[in-house]
Amino acid sequence: MNEFVQPMLGGLHILANPMIWVYITIGTIIGVIVGALPGIGTTQAYGLCLPFTFMMTPVNAISLLMGITVGNQFGNSIPAILIGLPGSPSAILTVIEGHTMQKRGEGGLALGVTFVASLGAQFVSILFFILLVVPLMQAAYIFMQPEQFAIYLFGLVAISSITGKNVLKGLASAAFGVGIGLVGLDPVNLIPRFDFGFRAVRSGFETTAVMIGLLAVSELFRSARQSFQWHPATGVEAASTTRFPPWRKWKRTLPFMMFGTVVGTLLGAVPGAGGTAPTMVSYQWAQFFSKKPEEFGHGSIDGIAANEAAQNASNCGELIPTLALGIPSSGSMVFLLGALTVHGFIPGPMLIRQAPHLFNATIAGLLGSTVLLAITGWYMCSLMLKAVSINRQSVIIFALATVVIGVYSTNLKVFDVFVALAAGAIGYFMMGYGYSCAAAALGVILGSGLERNLRHGLNITDGSFLKLLARPITGITVALCLVVLGYGVYRQIQLRKKLAKMAEKTN
């Protein structure tokens, strides 16, 4: 218990210094802005701020960097809901559910749920982070490639929830996405696959470009088919939708937020799992337990709650192996670890004993920026909601122009922008004929991780599938995948029957 109370009090003590709030505020603002821009992630934000942090004390520098981390996660979801533009792969499901609601004129409700889920999960996961940082250090030794393969498989099972009206077409879309994700170097022998001699695709397509193309650009091209002015579908004045949604409208999402928080923190702590797999797992379970599973894929607040909570909680989860073991689980965590070690942070099991003030500063930064966003976050959301409610034509062109600069900035390659536009054009036709763009996008993101971890995992088990499945966590997770898939298919059939009956009644 002392391991929890001491760092917490230490963090709160740092927050008592008014100057620390200046750094946290700057970090949070940068994080929110950067998170809202597609293609620009925390890595670039760290890169931007790192030179300035050398002039600061280590405590101030770490607080600023943590502010960026929290702000980025929050900022990610705002454009995902408002203009269907995911800031990162883990925001895909927010686009699917949140942007659909925005198009129905329920953007305020979607943003409200996102606001509560993001900050609630962030806050709870900080507590988890402090409490579990020592015990979860061991997770890195337990979760090796076979276990990670099982987690990816679980994520892929989530596709069964978003196949659209025709399951077969959904399956083809997912296969197409997985194929796109696998283009490039083979993970074992480094043999180029499907590059046809083009150097630009030798290392594969840029995932962010394909994902933005399939999800956002396709939708924007689709919207460009019609000539209209922005009218909320409900007929309610745009201004009223910027009010914070009443409690009765979103109270049912609380269990999904809590579940997403736990899943996000625990799976986020697995090195290599990243932020996407926890969101998929959490979303999948939310659909099972939701009282309105038919809303999933068509604007479900339960789906948004589960996804957002898992996404934000995985942020603290990712910090666990990064800080506790010195094993960064993503590109941005590599940068963060580098930045922190420059300031004297010693990653590893002794971090709490050797540099307690820096560990406390991490907690202060995370807590401070969460509190700051709790106070100002809704105001930011409502301002942006008002901004996109002005004129739909402008929003379409704004989003397309933002995609171009955002995707270009990812690697400074014009080719990536062409990839995004091509994926958008393909997605345009897919959407029209019932081939799920969301399933394809998920396939792109999870496919390569699935293959890499399976093949590396098999190397560990001497090429034996039996030995791979005999590993307790892998075996249990794969079995759970089959159960979930079977139950998911059963639920989908039931759901379709129910919807068909409802349609018959209305006719």
Nearest CB to another protein, comparing residues 174 and 306: 174
Task: State the minimum distance, in angstroms, from the CB of residue 496 to another protein.
Answer: 12
- Tell me the HSE value of 465 on the side-chain side, using a 13 A CA sphere: 1
Nearest CB to another protein, comparing residues 327 and 420: 420
Task: State the minimum distance, in angstroms, from the CB of residue 144 to another protein.
Answer: 16
Task: State the minimum distance, in angstroms, from the CB of residue 473 to another protein.
Answer: 20
Query: At which residue do the structure tokens 């799920």 appear?
Result: 436
Q: How is residue 185 annotated by DSSP?
A: E
Neighbouring-strand partners of residue 185: 192
Compute, in degrees rounded to 10, the torsion defined by CA atoms 192, 195, 198, 203.
-60
Task: State the minimum distance, in angstroms, from the CB of residue 339 to another protein.
Answer: 17
Task: State the minimum distance, in angstroms, from the CB of residue 355 to another protein.
Answer: 30
Nearest CB to another protein, comparing residues 364 and 400: 400
Task: State the minimum distance, in angstroms, from the CB of residue 468 to another protein.
Answer: 9
Angle at 438 between CA 46 and CA 398, to 5 degrees: 60
Task: State the minimum distance, in angstroms, from the CB of residue 345 to another protein.
Answer: 25
Q: How is residue 461 annotated by DSSP?
A: T
Helix (H) or strand (E) holding 373: helix 356-388
Nearest CB to another protein, comparing residues 343 and 452: 452
The Cα 161–Cα 485 span in angstroms is 9
The Cα 187–Cα 465 span in angstroms is 18
Nearest CB to another protein, comparing residues 258 and 404: 404
Nearest CB to another protein, comparing residues 234 and 391: 391
Compute, in degrees rounded to 10, the torsion defined by CA atoms 6, 9, 13, 15.
120
What would the DSSP string read from start to end of 300-352? -HHHHHHHHHHHHHHHHHHHHHHHHTS---SHHHHHHHHHHHHTT---STTHH
Contact 207, 445 (CB under 8 A): yes
Task: State the minimum distance, in angstroms, from the CB of residue 179 to another protein.
Answer: 4
Nearest CB to another protein, comparing residues 189 and 506: 189
Query: At which residue do the structure tokens 């796109």 appear?
Result: 180
Task: State the minimum distance, in angstroms, from the CB of residue 425 to another protein.
Answer: 6
**Alpha-carbon radius of gyration of the chain:** 22
**Residue 236 to residues 80, 105, 240, 390, 428, Cα–Cα distance (Å):** 22, 8, 7, 14, 30
Nearest CB to another protein, comparing residues 267 and 458: 458
Task: State the minimum distance, in angstroms, from the CB of residue 426 to another protein.
Answer: 10
Q: How is residue 245 annotated by DSSP?
A: P
Nearest CB to another protein, comparing residues 146 and 368: 146
SS3 184: strand
The Cα 304–Cα 110 span in angstroms is 7
| Residues at the site binding another protein, with contacts judged by CB under 8 A | 37, 40, 44, 48, 164-166, 168-169, 171-172, 175-176, 178-179, 182, 186, 188-189, 191, 193-194, 220-222, 224-228, 391, 393-394, 396-398, 400-402, 404-405, 408-409, 412, 414, 417-418, 421, 424-425, 428-435, 447, 451, 454-455, 458-459, 463-465
Q: Which region, left, alpha or beta, applies to residue 207 given φ > 0 means left and ψ of -120 to 50 means alpha?
A: alpha
Task: State the minimum distance, in angstroms, from the CB of residue 101 to another protein.
Answer: 15
SS3 104: coil
**Which has the closest alpha carbon to 111: 404, 367, 441, 387?**
387
Task: State the minimum distance, in angstroms, from the CB of residue 221 to another protein.
Answer: 5
Nearest CB to another protein, comparing residues 178 and 325: 178
Nearest CB to another protein, comparing residues 142 and 188: 188
Q: Which two tokens stand for residue 375?
A: 């106070």
Length of the chain: 507
Q: How far, in whole angstroms, is CA 406 from its chain's centroid?
A: 17
**Which has the closest alpha carbon to 381: 27, 79, 47?**
79
